[in-house]
Amino acid sequence: MSTNFLRLLGAYVVMGILFALTARAAEAPKVASFSTALNWVTKSREYQAVCLQTYANAWDKVAAAAKKQKGPWTIVMDLDETVLDNSGYQRRLEASGQGHTQEAWEVWVAERKAGLVPGAKEFIAKVRKLPNGRIIFISNRYARNTDHSRANVNQLGLGDKSDIYLLRKDRKDRKNLRRAEVLQGKGRIKSHGAQKVLAWFGDAAHDFPDDSKLKWGTHKFMLPNPVYGDW
Ligand SMILES: [Mg+2]
């Protein structure tokens, strides 16, 4: 065989491979691919199980502690990734290749499309049936979005008129300041007086008081959030 013939054959083979690859790429469905962390939250049975396990344990502990109370008591819950599931927002960011911004976040909050963290609704419904209880939501959503947040919670069937929303006034209004208001009955909680808090719920370390008397799984309940955090 001549060298020219072999060259020509080689060129046809390469062209054939390129054509096949191009055709295949064109056929590939246009599905956004998401991070492992987000897939774990949206698709895995493990994420569901950890959330259900946490809320099942919390119910046992809160019900037992509430039984011993003679007067009013409270549980304090974070909102995002503790009660409200914002994986829709995360999917939006990842699909568009955009990072998180306060502006994009507030657009999402105003849409009131957050879903439910597994187990949260059932847990809250049972807590509502206990006498003398109240739920305080301490969230770093801004206070200007309280109506959107309350509406989202209500449309998921979680809300009650007695709930207190302690959202962030401004950047300096950190959660430890709002926790102090709850425990000491001052500031925004003044008219309600100091609260007896039986349990704290969150998905981040900053959702919990720094108090060695409070134990994980008894007074403090952490929900899993592998998608974002201050790590
Ligand atoms: Mg949170």
Assess if residue 104 is contained within a domain: yes
Residue 202 Cα to ligand 1 middle (Å): 6
The Å distance, Cα 217 to ligand 1 centre, comes to: 18
Q: What are 32's two structure tokens? A: 């956004």
Neighbours of 136 (CB within 10 A): 22
User: Is residue 38 in a domain?
Assistant: no
**Do 143 and 168 contact (CB within 8 A), yes or no?**
yes
- Contacts of residues 52-60 at CB distance under 8 Å and 24 or more positions apart, as own/partner, are 52/118, 52/119, 54/119, 54/221, 54/222, 54/223, 55/118, 55/119, 55/120, 55/122, 55/123, 55/221, 56/119, 57/217, 57/221, 58/123, 58/199, 58/201, 58/221, 59/123, 59/126, 59/127
Answer yes or no: is 30 within a domain: no
**161 within a domain of the structure (yes/no):** yes
Considering the domain boundaries, does residue 133 fall inside one? yes
Distance 161 CA to ligand 1 centre (A): 22
Residue 41 domain-assigned (yes or no): no
Q: Is residue 231 part of a domain?
A: no
Full residue range of the structural domain in which residue 212 is found: 47-222
pLDDT in tens, the chain (231 residues): 566 656 665 666 666 555 555 566 566 556 678 999 999 999 999 999 999 999 999 999 999 999 999 999 999 999 999 999 999 999 999 999 999 999 999 999 999 999 999 999 999 999 999 999 999 999 999 999 999 999 999 999 999 999 999 999 999 999 999 999 999 999 999 999 999 999 999 999 999 999 999 999 999 999 999 999 999
- State the distance from the centre of ligand 1 to the C-alpha of 183, rounded, in angstroms: 20
Ligand 1 centroid from CA 102, angstroms: 15
Distances (CA, A) of 210 to 125, 176, 180, 206, 207: 28, 9, 11, 9, 10
80, 141 in Cβ contact below 8 A? Answer: yes
Does residue 98 lie within any of the structural domains?
A: yes
Say which CATH number the domain at 142 has: 3.40.50.1000
- What separation in angstroms does the CA of 98 have from each of 84, 183, 184? 22, 39, 41
Alpha carbon of 204 to ligand 1 centroid (Å): 6
pLDDT at 21: 56
Could you tell me the distance, in angstroms and rounded to a whole number, from the CA of residue 228 to the centre of ligand 1?
Answer: 9
Count of structural domains within the chain: 1
Question: What is the per-residue pLDDT for 168?
Answer: 98
